[in-house]
Amino acid sequence: MVYQINLLRTDCKMDETKQDFENRKDEVENYFEFVAIFDDDDTRLQYRKDGEVKIENIQLQFQNILIANAFLVLYNLIESTIRNSILEIYTKIKEDELNYERLSENLKKIWIKQTTDNLKEGNYKPETLSNYVFDLAKDILNNEIIILSKENMDFAGNLDAQKIRDLANNIGFNISPDGRNLVEIKIKRNRLAHGEQTFYDVGRNISVEQLFIFKDKTFTYLSDVIEKIETFIRDKKYTAN
């Protein structure tokens, strides 16, 4: 099954994000095809060592490790695609030189939150708060161009369909359906990243067939998210009504 996003449209300048998505999809496809090679009890590895050709049977444990690693590959695709897509919105706001008044209500709230994120309870003096309020008011009253930073976009390994729905609601683009498999990818990725489970334990109960289903559903879901953010940008939903 092939999922292809049209790369010819340039009206909302998402070509770079789309191309990066296609490139990363190719990487995922190549890795999954490699894993599928070992989906046979009689798979053997042939190599040359010290001028001699050696043939060895592939241990099941090796395939399980490869399967587990596939969840890291898929999560990398998910996080990079969502981050790049949202950055397209931030970049368009900067390119359009929007000030606070011309920004949508949703993006106003995001900008204020980003601007005040460093204010933690008990971590500032009264004059620090006064300076923040002063700078915030000055930027608004002087019609300064709004800059939204990628530095505040910290997913911390917790990106799944619910988190993406939250992002859609907060920013204002339409929600993509389904995406239930993303939570399983996130959970397995985090168990590996935090050392809670070994690669063998994560991969041993997943077949190659199931792995390819994870891949196809992830491709479909992310393609839809990109299209919805593209529509959001094209229709200038990031601006005030």
Tens digits of residue pLDDT in 171-198: 999 999 999 999 999 999 999 999 999 9
Task: Kindly report, residue by residue over 56-108, the tens digit of the pLDDT.
Answer: 766 778 889 999 999 999 999 999 999 999 999 999 999 999 999 999 999 99
Domain segments of the chain as ranges: 15-95+150-234
Q: How far apart are CA 214 and CA 210, in angstroms?
A: 6
Using alpha carbons, select from 134, 147, 135 the residue that is nearest to residue 100: 147
Q: With 50 as the cut, is the pLDDT of residue 5 above it?
A: no
Distance CA 63, CA 69 (A): 10
